[in-house]
Amino acid sequence: MKYRLEKDSMGEIKVEEDKLWGAQTQRSLENFAIGNRKMPSEMIWALAMLKKVCAFSNVVFGKLEPAVAEEIGLATNMIMAGNLSEHFPLSIYQTGSGTQTNMNLNEVIANYVNAQNKTRKVHPNDDVNKSQSSNDIFPSAMHISAVKALHERLYPNLEKLSETFAKLSWEYKEVIKIGRTHLQDATPITFGQEVSAWTRMLDNSLKMIKDTEKYLYELPIGGTAVGTGLNAPAGFGDLACELLSEEIGYNFVSADNKFHALSSKDSLVNLHGSLKTLATSLMKIANDVRWLACGPRAGINEIKIPENEPGSSIMPGKVNPTQCEALTMVATRVFGNDVTIGLAGASGNFQLNVFMPILIDSLLESINLLSDSICSFNDNCAVGILPNHDQMEKNLTNSLMLVTALNPYIGYDKAAEVAKFAFEKGINLQEAAIQLNIVTQEAFQLYVNPKKMI
């Protein structure tokens, strides 16, 4: 292995010759060999974009030569294209401000530029990080990466699953089945009505997430170290946000109160709360699906789901609701991430939150897992759901809760007597009502009509 010597304010350190990072990245790599979770690629992309717009903002304020900004822009384009991904090796378990990842970006950009242009030296702090601090750049990148992940990954998949359920609801709006409350038989419902609840749950979750998303568009950029904007020209944050918005199509603004924007992560905590709400809805839907599909001979068996793979290594012919299981496991991970994010958001001190790497890693993991699992569940399960008409009719006909339709005619107490007698004797409701001399066959058939009960 060949090495070169890199130097920072603490002295010299050896770095592998083919790596573009510098001394501060190397120190972090050696000092924080913790776990195998690296800084998310979405954050590397967002930080690179910020370095680009900050470079050109510095040109406008006369702080950086245009040629240097152009070279920085070319380097950041390479990073955003994923061509330099091997040069970002740092763990999320590092300094809580994300300083080491910010310096990782600064060093890689500077060394890439210097390797392309031997006539001048670009400095990672003095040039690439000009008018910036990790304390305003890293949280700005957190917001950018979250917005992009929502729009480019979560929203399309969530809308697709909602559309699948809406189609099922319409297609089977007249298929009558028994309803259930407390895991016990209840009055009738249509399968379309049952599925419509799933559709509305997803639609409401989408609205809630979008309601919380709006708080992400204020960025702390321009606040530098503690919110005062020290070492950045007046208006730097406004211009950087303007250029950023032009580049990526989302309307970010520099926060009015940068002391809040640096020290509080409430917008991200709030966003994840809505993601947790989505996870609870998905857990409920997945559980409904696997309950309704359970069997096929000793369970409810009212719907059929796609048979994607063998379900058992020992029981031939067994098929399990694996997509439901994957979706519910993702939900539990999101619940755990919500605890992490809540604690991280609550644990900042004075002018800075120092739990930012774990916070954004947990947030992006939730978004990505929800996106992937929703897509998988839709494509491999939801689109193939079919009602088992025979089983639905059988369960409906045998249900004792159809007796509810008799309440207005014979009263609650006599209706309960009919239901209990039918259950004890193992007969249907009509037979029970006739044997008890409560109603005639004609009256029973007139009063107890499932089509009038939905």
Please give the positions annotated as active site. Answer: 182, 312
Helix/strand/coil percentages in the chain, nearest 5 = 65, 10, 30
Residue 417: count other Cβ atoms within 10 Å of its Cβ.
17
b/e burial code for range 40-71 (CB count within 10 A of at least 16 → b): bebbbbbbbbbbbbbbbbbbbeebbeeebbeb
Neighbours of 6 (CB within 10 A): 20
Which of 305, 346, 363, 366 has its CA nearest to residue 141? Answer: 363
Q: Show Cβ contacts of residue 105 under 8 Å, excluding neighbours closer than 6 positions.
A: 44, 47, 48, 51, 79, 88, 128
- d(CA 297, CA 390) in angstroms, rounded, equals 13
Amino acid at 407: N
Q: Which two tokens stand for residue 175?
A: 């298929």
DSSP per residue, 328-361:
HHHHHHHHHHHHHHHHHHHT-BTTB-S-HHHHHH
